[in-house]
Amino acid sequence: MFNGLWTIEFISTMNRFGAGILVLNNGRLLGGDNGYYYLGNYEVKDNNVQGNVDIIRFNKNIISVFGDVDQFSLTFAGQIKPDSIEAVASFGNTPDLKIRIICKKKVDL
């Protein structure tokens, strides 16, 4: 039910927007957008999900929702709803920098 292809939309506390895709499969998270790829892990318990993700730039012309950085890590936690996930992610050691995340399931694996 949880494993699949998901779209992701996010907005940072810096008021920057972004979108991409994720593949969630048995605790592994893979994905990306037009400038960065995502590698991470997650755990699901009841209707909650939490995890971490490394975000690495591959396109130097694209700026992330956190500014002009080549690589960063996020920790996230949120709620699972039927065919969607709503979560909040924190940026490294800077708790004031957060993003709100909305994921929508597109295809089961």
pLDDT digits (tens, 9 = 90+) for 7-27: 999 998 888 899 999 999 999
Residue 92 near residue 76 (C-beta atoms within 8 A):
no
Residue found under tokens 């994921």:
103
Structure tokens at 91: 């940026």
- Which residues form the domain of 101? 4-108
pLDDT over 80 at 30, yes or no: yes
CA–chain centroid gap for 78, Å, is: 11
Can you list the positions of beta strands (E) in the chain? 4-12, 17-25, 28-32, 36-45, 48-57, 71-81, 84-91, 94-108
pLDDT over 90 at 92, yes or no: no
| pTM, entire model | 0.90
Number of domains comprising the chain: 1
Q: Residue 8: give its domain's CATH number.
A: 2.40.128.380
pLDDT digits (tens, 9 = 90+) for 48-58: 999 999 999 99
